[in-house]
């Protein structure tokens, strides 16, 4: 690699700051070993892995996925496309497993990062690990690096208005995790992370609202690009220049490199994430939780007695106010859909979309008014809340407020038992859940992870 002094003299101060922080973070990543990770962080990694694998299996079972897999004409390889019966190359697996993972809006997320660090990097790391048959401790360390680096880049990136978080800052986590798994040194990891931070997608949030599935593909691109960035670094061709200052900053918003190294090795962001029990955008979850509480208070008249529903929430969530949707993806980004589904079904499950276009359902959704309330904006990012008011025909007004959604690290965080129960309910197949639990629990100690991961090839 060329002389660092020559490199930094040729770039502007913002780039130098971005590069210096990336190097410090990469040195931390290079030094991390699974054996020295605190026990509670190890347990959390297993839990996030359990959720990730289970939700990927769930997404793989969607009826449209068979056609997508066929369209890719995946070649024969050693890496499982989870739940499909196909083994293929790491690139195809990284892309398609990532898109399956995010297709039902049930993947783990992190409100401080502003997105989904596990989905941004786990599919790439797991695909590479299966391809090279990495050992368990190395794979677990790489997964943790992917999460922590990605989450820190998410914290450091303040997105421009209307930018969707899929496919931009998360490239860095995928690159760091893959570089770690390839046993690259700190300078090479820096090169991989820097290269990845120059690959972001400027995806408009409107894609999700409109039900455009390209929004899911951004996550596939993220994982494959991270793998490509790591390979570029391994080849000695990555020339770090602090490009995040111009890409994640300036072009896509603002970037604060000092955030990358805040409380490094003291704060583990993986422990601050949230799990989802609703098949909908995380912005809708406090509303869903409050609505489910109100449902039990409706009395004999039930849903039919409702004359009006008012949802107050933070501004970003209030943008999800559409009362019409053309597919499941668009519905999952509609608060009126989520409220109507919760009232009708007592849950917001993946199959709730199937009957959502009936006249009765639409009439209920049309009664939902969504407004922004600065009170909830002021509590961000520590609390992502909402209040729901239901007006009944007899004049009563029922109100419920949720400061944070259930499953958040700040409110009824999921443990192993609750996550297994949720996956069992969603997948409806105890044998499959047992396989997923076995992989998530056994992987960090496995002498080689390929055979273990291959047990998830079939539905």
pLDDT in tens, 363-391: 999 999 999 999 999 999 999 999 999 99
pLDDT value, residue 265:
84
Count other Cβ atoms within 10 Å, centred on residue 351.
11
Please name the residue ranges forming H helices in 235-278. 244-246
Task: Report the chain's mean pLDDT, rounded to a whole number.
Answer: 96
What is the spatial distance between Cα 288 and Cα 117, in angstroms, rounded to a whole number? Answer: 23
Q: How many helices (H) and strands (E) does the chain have?
A: 21, 8
Longest CA–CA span in the chain (Å) reads 77
Task: For the chain, give the number of residues.
Answer: 459
Burial class (CB in 10 A: 0-12, 13-18, 19+), 194: buried
Spell out the domains of the chain, with CATH numbers in brackets.
Answer: 4-277+430-454 (1.10.4100.10), 282-402 (3.30.1330.120)
| Tens digits of residue pLDDT in 122-161 | 999 999 999 999 999 999 999 999 999 999 999 999 999 9
pLDDT value at 407 more than 90: yes
Whether residue 46 contacts residue 38, with contact meaning beta carbons closer than 8 Å, is answered with no
> Which segments of 269-361 are extended strands (E)?
306-313
Range 303-308 average pLDDT: 95
Count other Cβ atoms within 10 Å, centred on residue 63.
6
Confidence band (pLDDT; 50, 70, 90) for 300? confident
Cα distances (angstroms) measured from residue 449 to each of 7, 177, 228, 305, 453: 39, 16, 21, 55, 6
């Amino acid at each position: 690699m060329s002389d660092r002094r020559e490199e930094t003299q040729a770039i502007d101060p913002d780039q130098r700051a971005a590069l210096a922080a990336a190097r410090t973070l990469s040195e931390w990543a290079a030094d991390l070993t699974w054996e020295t990770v605190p026990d509670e962080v190890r347990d959390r990694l297993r839990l996030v892995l359990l959720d990730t694998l289970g939700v990927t299996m769930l997404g793989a079972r969607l009826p449209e996925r068979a056609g997508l897999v066929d369209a890719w004409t995946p070649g024969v390889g050693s890496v499982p496309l989870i739940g499909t019966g196909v083994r293929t190359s790491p690139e195809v697996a990284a892309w398609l497993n990532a898109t399956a993972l995010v297709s039902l809006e049930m993947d783990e997320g992190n409100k401080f990062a502003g997105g989904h660090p596990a989905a941004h990097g786990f599919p790439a790391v797991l695909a590479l690990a299966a391809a090279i048959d990495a050992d368990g401790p190395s794979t677990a360390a790489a997964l943790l690096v992917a999460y922590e680096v990605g989450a820190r880049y998410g914290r450091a990136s303040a997105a421009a208005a209307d930018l969707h978080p899929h496919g931009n800052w998360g490239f860095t986590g995928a690159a760091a995790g893959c570089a770690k798994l390839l046993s690259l040194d700190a300078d090479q990891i820096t090169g991989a992370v820097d290269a990845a931070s120059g690959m972001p997608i400027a995806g408009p949030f409107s894609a999700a609202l409109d039900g455009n599935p390209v929004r899911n593909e951004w996550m596939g691109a993220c994982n494959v690009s991270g793998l490509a960035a790591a390979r570029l670094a391994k080849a000695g061709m990555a020339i770090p220049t602090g490009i995040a200052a111009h890409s994640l900053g300036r072009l896509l918003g603002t970037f604060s490199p000092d955030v990358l190294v805040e409380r490094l090795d003291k704060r583990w962001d993986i422990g601050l994430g949230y799990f989802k029990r609703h098949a909908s955008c995380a912005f809708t979850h406090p509303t869903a939780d409050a609505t489910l509480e109100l449902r039990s208070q409706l009395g004999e008249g039930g849903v039919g007695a409702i004359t009006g529903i008012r949802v107050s929430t933070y501004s970003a969530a209030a943008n999800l106010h559409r009362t019409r949707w053309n597919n499941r993806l668009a519905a999952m980004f509609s608060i009126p859909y989520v409220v109507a589904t919760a009232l009708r079904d007592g849950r917001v499950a993946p199959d709730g979309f199937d009957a959502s276009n009936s006249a009765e359902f639409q009439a209920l959704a049309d009664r939902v008014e969504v407004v922004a309330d600065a009170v909830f904006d002021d509590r961000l990012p520590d609390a992502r809340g909402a209040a729901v008011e239901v007006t009944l025909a007899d004049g009563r007004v029922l109100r419920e407020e949720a400061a944070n959604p259930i499953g958040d690290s700040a409110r009824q965080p999921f443990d192993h038992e609750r996550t297994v129960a949720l996956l069992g309910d969603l997948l409806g197949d105890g044998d499959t859940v047992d396989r997923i639990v076995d992989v998530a629990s056994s992987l960090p100690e496995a002498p080689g992870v390929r055979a273990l991961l291959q047990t998830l090839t079939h539905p």
